[in-house]
Amino acid sequence: MPYQVALPRSLLRLHNVFHVLVLRKYLADHSHVLDYQPIQISNDMSYEEQLMEIPDREEQVLRRRVIPSVKVHWANHFGEETT
């Protein structure tokens, strides 16, 4: 059974219908409040990533190739969203 969710005007372009099994009752928690800087979203619903820092680098050797690997902190991602 699908439910239609009422979204604020700023999110009207997002999909607003969900199956009942993916919805859960929200329990208020003050730690869920985020301080964020609004990002500029283009007409095709994309935005430009901003690099914050590169905390780690390494090189892996596979046979005769050296493959560089870089861990990056992005401006609009938090916690384990480091790639």
Full pLDDT tens readout for the chain, 83 residues: 888 888 888 888 888 888 888 888 888 888 888 777 777 888 998 888 888 888 889 999 999 999 999 888 887 776 666 66
Exposure of 62 in the CB half-sphere (CA atoms within 13 A):
4
Residue 53 lies in a domain: yes
Q: Which residues of 10-64 form beta strands (DSSP E)?
A: 17-19, 51-62
pTM exceeds cut of 0.95:
no
**In whole angstroms, what separates CA 20 from the centre of its chain?**
23
Residue 39 lies in a domain: no
Residue 43 lies in a domain: no
Residue 42 lies in a domain: no
Domain boundaries, position 67: 2-34+49-81
What is the tally of structural domains in the chain?
Answer: 1
Please report which residue ranges of the chain form alpha helices under DSSP H: none
